[in-house]
Structure 1
Amino acid sequence: MLLSLAIKNFAIVSQLEVNWHNQMTTITGETGAGKSIAIDALAQALGERSEASMVRANTDKAEVIAVFDITNLTSAQNWLKEHELFNDDECILRRVISKEGRSKAYINGSQVPASQLKGIGSLLVSIHGQHAHQLLTKPEHQRFMLDQYAGNQTLLNKLKANYLDLQSKTSEYKQLTEKQAEFSAQKQLLQYQVDELNNAELIEGEYQEIEQEHKRLHHANSLQGDGQHALDILHENENGNAYSALQSALSLLHKSSNLDSRLTPTIELLDSALIQLDEGTSELRNYIDDLELNPARLIEVEQRLNLYVELSRKHQVFPEQLIEKLEELTDELNKLTNSDNRLIELESEIELAKNSYKELAIELTNCRLKFAKQLNQKITASMQQLNMADAVFEIEIKSDPETFTQFGSDKIEFLVSANPGQPLQPLLKVASGGELSRMSLAIQVITAQKVTTPTLLFDEVDVGVSGPTASAVGKLMRELSNNTQVICVTHLPQVACYGHQQQFVNKQTHSGMTQTSMEALNQTGRIDELARLLGGDTISATTKANALELLSIAHAH
């Protein structure tokens, strides 16, 4: 529950600290005094959008601090632990707003995004504003109120996840289907290209090998002639060759080495050269013998070489890159082929997702029907207490199993009959402004009984009601406060008297500056304030007596 609220330089509040109690607290004050400022300030601590206009004139920043007791609120404790913000049994929310409109948010002293204030705030406080009856006419808000009362959030989260998964798969299927015509032509071309390259039976490194073989075969005559001429020069010319010349030179040097031993290293080198020359000529002779003039093989190699060149020109790559190109094209073809398989997979996945969605949607519909029946009875009874004796309320739920949304397959509408003999019709069509306000109040009070937040704020939700109806409103709220903390801003004495505590808001002007204050009223103060609400500025013995009677009646309940 809300323990305290400290406000500094917010709107027309200079400084204000309010301690709150359990059960029901009413807030009253003169028109324009700023009765709702505490609610507006608390909304900032709960993460609502901030504006520069919220900062009090001639000050640099506004600050709001709200302290909550979460001793018995497991959901809030778990949320704080999950976000590593837990601090015993208190939760302190702080919001600082600069005069430029920028803001900073804090939870238990740690700076956080404003969105986290909203996250924890939704577990601590539920605010019902004076314009709630306008929201009540919107189908999406009607659905929200029913689901909130029924506690359907976990089921809705599952349904939403399933719905998003179904949407994703359906979108993928649609995109693939739309591209199938394009894919078909592309696939046909790729298949032709892959087949052509596969039929070529390309071998890694083959192009370089046959390029060399082609040169050898094409120039076999000149290679053979040049080789034989070199062999003659080196060894086989009878009129003189390099081998014979080297032998003769070595013979002379061996004789000379007997006279000068310094020739020995030279002789050794030349001996080695003679051996290598002999081996080299032997290799050259083998090379010449192996050379063959093979026109048939030359034609075969030229055809293979031309195939590589032609394919490389087609695919705009170097011949040695053709195998890499084949792998690339094969990969593209596989992807397109897989898209066909993916379509088949998606059809099955979509069908499974639809079936799963329908199961969850049916479960949600059944839950809504169950709690709608409860609400029909309770809200009808509550409306009748609010001086609408013949009113009937009913929640209509129409389900279409082929409708898929993140909120289920139901169309939900609040129907009422305000007078005897009138058929049930949509809320907006049959209710006058005052009736709509009372209906809204009845619905809010009843649905609030199932809300799990420990604090409920009602900001002038009793607009448009008066007299006995107003008294019934106060009684309903007091009953509600038996289970949760209720804070109610009101202008009606018949409502204010039902509070276990009452706060009075006062506005004063000093030195040209307006200041709003709030004070807790004692018994005497409450009687005076209720008398003012009953009789205006003039407080008489009669209005005081009426005020005391109101308090006595209210506190007798």
Structure 2
Amino acid sequence: MLTQLNIRQFAIVDHLDIDFQKGMTAITGETGAGKSIALDALSLCLGARSESHMVRPGASKAEITASFCVHQLPHVLQWLDEHDLLLDDAQDNEDNCIIRRTISAEGRSKAFVNGAVVPVGTLKELGRMLISLHGQHEHHLLMKTDYQIQLLDQFADHAPLLDATRTAFQRWRHLIREQRDLQQRVEQENARRQLLEYQVGELDDFAPTAEEYEQLESDHKRLANASTLVDDAQFSLGTLYDGEHNNAYHLIQAVKQRLEHSLSLDERLAPVLELLESASVQVEEAVHELRHYHDGVELDPEALDQCEKRLSQTLQLAKKHQSAPSELAQIHQQLKQELSEITASESRLANLTPDINSAWQAYEKAAQALTQSRRSAAEKLEVQVTRSLHELNIPDGEFVVRIESDIDEHHSAQGQDFIQFLVSANAGQPLQPIQKVASGGELSRISLAIQVLTAGNGNLPTLIFDEVDVGVSGPTAATVGKLLRSLGEQNQVLCVTHLPQVAARAHQQLFVKKLKHDGKTLTTMESLSDTHRVQELARLLGGDTITEHAMANARELLAG
């Protein structure tokens, strides 16, 4: 429930701190005093659109803070926890949900929940779980069938059934969209699939591998020049070792023998001899490797022919796919993947119909359960609204909820029903849609009766009624007060009113007045004691001139 509202530099409010209590709270004041300013500030705090003109002239920013006690609202605590917005001492802090909104004079807005900066959309989501606001123009919404079905569902507390129906409908619609998209894709890609099948088949037969092209080029160069390689190897072997005269190995050996003799004459030749010994060993190893290479080189015309054919096919396929020869294996895998995806789409499309049928059956079941519950709730609402109309001085009033169920015509996330509120305000008058038969005064009372009856079933801790009793007077006003008082026994109810009969039924009363200070207009709000409540009720009864008779009537209203 709402426990406190702090307003700073908002509209004509300089600063205002309001403490709220359980039960029904009436907010009264003179015409033009700004009785709805607190509610406007609260709406802004809960995500309503902000504008720069809301900042009090001369101020740099407006700031509104609303504190709520949510320890008995597990769904709100769960939401705060899921969004990491719980206060550290939430379980010990009675006012454990603090919402703040600031607006700069330039129109920039910031939102906070328990000190954390949040998007305005988050405030709206949280606000819908904390407060339900019913305005004096609510009856205009009552003309819309969408709003009528919303009120019936609120009265019946249909959140679980609506969630089940919405989930089933969204599942079915998702599958329908998937089917449509797949059909379009399959139709568009049919020609592409045929081309891919040919290309992939061709590449499957060729079976290119990564780095194959580089190896083919290397093999072709070797095979094509095998004769030259053999000749060069033979020449090198002869020069290094096999030649009969002056081969490198024998020349090194001759030099070694000559210098070994000289070493006994001069030891400085020792390093030279070591190098020659190493050179001799290196030449021997080179000759060994070269002889092994020479023996392995073959003149293989058949292998050369196969290599040339493979190279030619590689180049042709690369040209066909407009790619480098070295990329052919990668292109093969890409084309196979694309063909696989198209084939999977066709397979998914073929298997989608049973899934769609199953999803539709689940939706039908959920929608039918919702329809049955709506019909049961509609019967109860009809009785209660009709009774309230009689109490609100429409003695021959009758209220009926017409429900037409046609899943082929009306299927949506809200179910299969077309719902319409019908009313007859006078004896002998046939039931007709509410917007066709109700006068302004009757519409206000019908709207009020429906709002009061449906608001109490919304699982919201705080209900706000902003001058919903416009057009009501006399005994009817007393009935309105009684209805709101009854609602306040179960919920926190805030009611802006100009009717003494309504204000007298409140558990507590706040008085709004307008002051002038230093040439500026200010709005203040104060909680009234019993004595001051009598005076305020007397003013509402008799106007600015308060008589003893008006005071006696006020005392009688409070006592009643």
Same fold (TM over 0.5): yes
The gaps in structure 1 that reach 5 residues or longer are none
The answer on whether the counterparts of 1:133 and 1:437 sit within 8 Å (CA) in structure 2 is yes
More displaced 10-residue stretch of structure 1: 137-146 or 516-525: 516-525
Residue 100 (1) aligns with residue 109 (2): no
2:138 pairs, out of 132, 135, 138, with 132
Q: Which amino acid aligns with 1:540?
A: T
Cα distance change on mapping 1:427 and 1:226 into 2, 3 Å: same
- CA drift of 1:100 comes to 2.6
* SS of alignment partner, residue 123 of structure 1: coil
Q: Percent identity?
A: 44
2:511 pairs, out of 480, 504, 525, with 504
Cα distance change on mapping 1:246 and 1:420 into 2, 3 Å: closer
- CA drift of 1:443 comes to 0.3
1:187-241 CA-partner distances (Å, limit 9, x unpaired): 111111111122224456654555455445545565666666667777788xx64
The answer on whether the counterparts of 1:235 and 1:281 sit within 8 Å (CA) in structure 2 is no
Match of 1:476 in 2: 483
- CA drift of 1:379 comes to 0.7
* Distance in 1 between residues matched to 2:531 and 2:211, nearest whole Å: 106
- CA drift of 1:382 comes to 0.6
Match of 1:459 in 2: 466
1:178 pairs, out of 184, 203, 222, with 184
* Distance in 2 between residues matched to 1:148 and 1:175, nearest whole Å: 37
Map residues 277-296 of structure 1 onto 2, 5 A cutoff: 279=288, 282-283=291-292, 286=295, 291-292=298-299, 294=301
Match of 2:453 in 1: 446
1:489-540 CA-partner distances (Å, limit 9, x unpaired): 1122332332333333222334432222333444444444333333333333
Q: Which amino acid aligns with 2:66?
A: A
More displaced 10-residue stretch of structure 1: 2-11 or 465-474: 2-11
The answer on whether the counterparts of 1:234 and 1:241 sit within 8 Å (CA) in structure 2 is no
* Distance in 2 between residues matched to 1:268 and 1:72, nearest whole Å: 99
Match of 1:432 in 2: 439
* Distance in 1 between residues matched to 2:79 and 2:306, nearest whole Å: 79
2:315 pairs, out of 309, 314, 317, with 309
Residue 411 (1) aligns with residue 418 (2): yes
- CA drift of 1:70 comes to 4.0
Q: Which amino acid aligns with 1:2?
A: L
* SS of alignment partner, residue 522 of structure 2: strand
Match of 1:48 in 2: 48
Question: When the two structures are aligned, how many residues end up with a matched partner?
Answer: 547
Residue 89 (1) aligns with residue 94 (2): yes
The answer on whether the counterparts of 1:312 and 1:319 sit within 8 Å (CA) in structure 2 is yes
Q: Which amino acid aligns with 1:319?
A: P
Match of 2:198 in 1: 192
Q: Which amino acid aligns with 1:42?
A: L
Cα distance change on mapping 1:284 and 1:491 into 2, 3 Å: closer
Cα distance change on mapping 1:236 and 1:547 into 2, 3 Å: closer
The answer on whether the counterparts of 2:101 and 2:109 sit within 8 Å (CA) in structure 1 is yes
1:257-282 CA-partner distances (Å, limit 9, x unpaired): 55755696587467647756865785
* SS of alignment partner, residue 517 of structure 1: strand
The answer on whether the counterparts of 1:234 and 1:242 sit within 8 Å (CA) in structure 2 is no
1:386-430 CA-partner distances (Å, limit 9, x unpaired): 111111112222222234422222222211122233332221111
Map residues 120-519 of structure 1 onto 2, 5 A cutoff: 120-202=126-208, 207-208=213-214, 210-215=216-221, 218-219=224-225, 241-243=245-247, 247=250, 250=253, 254=257, 257=260, 268=277, 272=281, 275=284, 279=288, 282-283=291-292, 286=295, 291-292=298-299, 294=301, 298-402=304-408, 403-519=410-526
The answer on whether the counterparts of 1:52 and 1:102 sit within 8 Å (CA) in structure 2 is yes
Q: Which amino acid aligns with 1:89?
A: E
* SS of alignment partner, residue 502 of structure 1: strand
The alignment's TM-score, normalised by the length of structure 1, stands at 0.86
Map residues 20-35 of structure 1 onto 2, 5 A cutoff: 20-35=20-35
- CA drift of 1:434 comes to 1.0
The answer on whether the counterparts of 1:471 and 1:494 sit within 8 Å (CA) in structure 2 is yes
* SS of alignment partner, residue 152 of structure 2: helix
The answer on whether the counterparts of 1:48 and 1:118 sit within 8 Å (CA) in structure 2 is yes
The answer on whether the counterparts of 2:367 and 2:415 sit within 8 Å (CA) in structure 1 is yes
More displaced 10-residue stretch of structure 1: 255-264 or 414-423: 255-264
- CA drift of 1:375 comes to 0.7
* RMSD value, Cα: 3.3
* Distance in 1 between residues matched to 2:251 and 2:115, nearest whole Å: 106
The answer on whether the counterparts of 1:221 and 1:293 sit within 8 Å (CA) in structure 2 is no
- CA drift of 1:357 comes to 2.2
The alignment's TM-score, normalised by the length of structure 2, stands at 0.86
The answer on whether the counterparts of 1:25 and 1:486 sit within 8 Å (CA) in structure 2 is yes
- CA drift of 1:101 comes to 2.8
The answer on whether the counterparts of 2:252 and 2:276 sit within 8 Å (CA) in structure 1 is no
Cα distance change on mapping 1:323 and 1:65 into 2, 3 Å: closer
* Distance in 1 between residues matched to 2:257 and 2:335, nearest whole Å: 71
- CA drift of 1:366 comes to 1.9
Q: Which amino acid aligns with 2:505?
A: Y
More displaced 10-residue stretch of structure 1: 315-324 or 123-132: 315-324
- CA drift of 1:180 comes to 1.6
Cα distance change on mapping 1:421 and 1:193 into 2, 3 Å: same
2:536 pairs, out of 522, 529, 532, with 529
* Distance in 1 between residues matched to 2:364 and 2:51, nearest whole Å: 44
More displaced 10-residue stretch of structure 1: 508-517 or 257-266: 257-266
* Distance in 2 between residues matched to 1:284 and 1:63, nearest whole Å: 91
Q: Which amino acid aligns with 1:84?
A: L
- CA drift of 1:149 comes to 1.7
Match of 1:11 in 2: 11
* Distance in 2 between residues matched to 1:330 and 1:459, nearest whole Å: 67
- CA drift of 1:437 comes to 0.5
* Distance in 2 between residues matched to 1:200 and 1:297, nearest whole Å: 18
More displaced 10-residue stretch of structure 1: 175-184 or 10-19: 10-19
More displaced 10-residue stretch of structure 1: 469-478 or 507-516: 507-516
More displaced 10-residue stretch of structure 1: 53-62 or 389-398: 53-62
* Distance in 2 between residues matched to 1:426 and 1:301, nearest whole Å: 88
The answer on whether the counterparts of 2:514 and 2:524 sit within 8 Å (CA) in structure 1 is yes
